[in-house]
């Protein structure tokens, strides 16, 4: 029987999610990769145990996480039954709907039918009566925003979600959605967006500034640019790497000589701080005042433990921030 570490809350900082009463750990565990049917169950179990033992209370899923779609939720449901269900009140479990989940016109985007049907299916896969946060996973250009936000509000009113969030929205669309949700008295507390040293879209589309202005939390995914911001690819492509085992999101063609040169410069900055490249990349994210938490993935417990070394480390100086931008050809 699993017994979590007694000192699990002693080092992890917890940040308030916007102006809500909910706090999230500075580092959260994303189940986008490594929790589908291609990963051994023992590995998933070790990752979740290591996370919780080190104060990671937030586990982030979506209906389509796998492969195959739905398998991450099914596997997490088994992990809950085997290990974590006695500690459910200490966990923040989130899921999402918005990308293709099943065939036909009702298994995608943002209709009321899709979102509420998907949430019911997610709860069944995980063996839960509610999730803590239910997200719309991406904006739907064809469904009225009022319908999508109304479905999120219904999820809360029915007791199947405690809070709601939006993922992959820009600042302007999020602000319109927030106004609708406020009218519906729906607890919208967080935005989830992609952001990293190599990917500045969240700076350009207004989501960080709008979230800060409206006092919404922000949780960042892909902070390591699908693994590029690690030392994993600096000396070739390992056979057990994501490129080799699951080439859906990171391809070998992305590792150009120019990109590798940038990564080596960033690694030199990290070494000057006594950090790994991944630790530098995460500290760079968490410097942002608007950011509540950063989502990390791992293929081995040791990777997760290494990531958590960022807790309590010194923030980047202005000189280091300028050096990071210069390394990737940006001016600060």
Please tell me whether the overall predicted TM-score, pTM, comes out greater than 0.85 for this model: yes
Q: What average pLDDT score do residues 216-233 get? A: 91
Residue 204's pLDDT band (cuts 50, 70, 90): very high
Instruction: Count structural domains, the chain.
Output: 1
295-326 pLDDT tens trace: 999 989 999 999 999 998 999 999 999 999 99
Instruction: Please give the pLDDT value at position 227.
Output: 83
pLDDT, tens digit, 9 for 90 and up, residues 239-283: 455 554 455 555 555 667 888 889 999 999 999 999 999 999 999
Residue 255 structure tokens? 């590792």
Residue 297 lies in a domain: yes
Beta strands in the chain (DSSP E): 14-16, 23-25, 27-30, 58-60, 92-97, 131-136, 161-167, 188-194, 217-221, 293-296
| Average per-residue pLDDT for the chain | 93
* CATH number of the domain to which 109 belongs: 3.20.20.100
Residue 231 lies in a domain: no
Name the pLDDT band for 207 (thresholds 50, 70, 90): very high
The answer to whether residue 106 sits within a structural domain is yes
**276 located within any domain:** no
Question: 318 lies in a domain?
Answer: no
Total residue count of the chain as it appears in this document: 332
For the segment 126-141, what is each residue's pLDDT rounded down to a tens digit? 999 999 999 999 999 9
Residue recorded with tokens 């009702």? 106
Among 48-52, 63-67, 135-139, 240-244, the least confident range: 240-244
Backbone angles phi, psi at 279, to 5 degrees: -65, -40
Residue 127 belongs to domain spanning: 14-226+287-313
- Residue 262: inside a domain: no
> Average pLDDT of 210-236?
90
| Helix, strand and coil percent figures for the chain, each rounded to 5 | 45, 15, 40
Q: Quick one: 305 exposed, middle or buried, by C-beta within 10 A (0-12, 13-18, 19+)?
A: middle
282 domain-assigned: no
235: in domain: no
Share of the chain above pLDDT 90, in %: 87
d(CA 115, CA 134): 10
Neighbours of 171 (CB within 10 A): 21
Largest CA-CA distance found in the chain, in angstroms, rounded: 54
Q: Confidence band (pLDDT; 50, 70, 90) for 164? A: very high
The sign of the torsion formed by the CA atoms of 94, 100, 104, 106 equals positive
């Amino acid at each position: 029987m699993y017994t979590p570490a007694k000192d699990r809350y002693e080092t992890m900082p917890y940040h308030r999610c916007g102006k809500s009463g909910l706090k999230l750990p500075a580092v959260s565990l994303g189940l986008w990769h490594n929790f589908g049917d291609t990963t051994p169950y023992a590995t998933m179990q070790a990752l979740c145990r290591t996370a919780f033992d080190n104060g990671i209370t937030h586990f982030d899923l979506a209906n389509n996480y796998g492969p195959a779609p739905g398998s991450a939720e099914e596997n997490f449901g088994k992990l809950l039954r085997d290990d974590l269900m006695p500690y459910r009140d200490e966990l923040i479990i989130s899921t999402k709907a918005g990308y293709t989940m099943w065939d036909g016109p009702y298994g995608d985007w943002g209709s009321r039918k899709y979102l509420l049907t998907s949430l019911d299916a997610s709860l069944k896969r995980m063996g839960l009566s509610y999730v803590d946060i239910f997200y719309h996973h991406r904006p739907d250009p064809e469904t009225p925003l009022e319908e999508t936000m109304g479905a999120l509000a219904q999820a809360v009113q029915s007791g199947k979600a405690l809070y709601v969030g939006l993922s992959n929205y820009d600042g302007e669309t999020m602000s319109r959605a927030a106004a609708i949700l406020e009218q519906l008295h729906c607890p919208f507390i967080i935005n989830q967006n992609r952001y990293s040293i190599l990917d500045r879209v969240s700076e350009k589309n207004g989501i960080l500034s709008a979230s800060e202005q409206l006092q919404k939390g922000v949780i960042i995914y892909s902070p390591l640019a699908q693994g590029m911001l690690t030392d994993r690819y600096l000396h070739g492509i390992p056979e057990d790497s994501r490129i080799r085992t699951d080439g859906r999101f990171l391809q070998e063609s992305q590792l150009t000589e120019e990109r590798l040169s940038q990564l080596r410069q960033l690694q030199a900055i990290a070494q000057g701080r006594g950090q790994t490249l991944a630790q530098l990349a995460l500290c760079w994210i968490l410097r942002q005042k608007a950011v509540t938490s950063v989502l990390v993935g791992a293929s081995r417990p040791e990777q997760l433990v290494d990531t958590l070394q960022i807790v309590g480390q010194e923030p980047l100086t202005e000189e280091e921030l300028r050096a990071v931008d210069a390394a990737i050809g940006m001016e600060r």
